[in-house]
Amino acid sequence: MKDLLQFLATSLVDSPENVTIEEREEERTIYYTLHVDEKDMGKIIGKQGKNAQAIRTLMKAAGAKTDKRIIVDIV
């Protein structure tokens, strides 16, 4: 799932080399912290948060297959 998040994030930004993802797993939850360059933050979030919401929805759908709750934070 981390690969999916990496693919989605690097596809949206101008500086894909500055995209990093931290993963932390607890009992039934996986937390992802997505770090992007400041100038790319608007592209990841999108107009009215549409891109961020779409990324979170895709990650939640992928997590449903493994019975895990997925939380994505964008910083």
- Per-residue pLDDT tens for 7-54? 999 999 999 999 999 999 999 999 999 999 999 999 999 999 999 999
Domain containing 50: what range?
2-74
pTM for this prediction: 0.89
Mean pLDDT across the stretch 64-72? 91
pLDDT at 72 over 90: yes
Residue 15 near residue 40, CB atoms below 8 Å: yes
What pLDDT, in 10s, does the model give residues 42-66?
999 999 999 999 999 999 999 888 8
- pLDDT at residue 65, rounded to an integer: 87
Torsion sign (Cα): 28, 49, 13, 39 = negative
Number of domains in the chain: 1
Integer Cα distance of 67 and 50 in angstroms: 25
CATH number of the CATH domain containing 45: 3.30.300.20
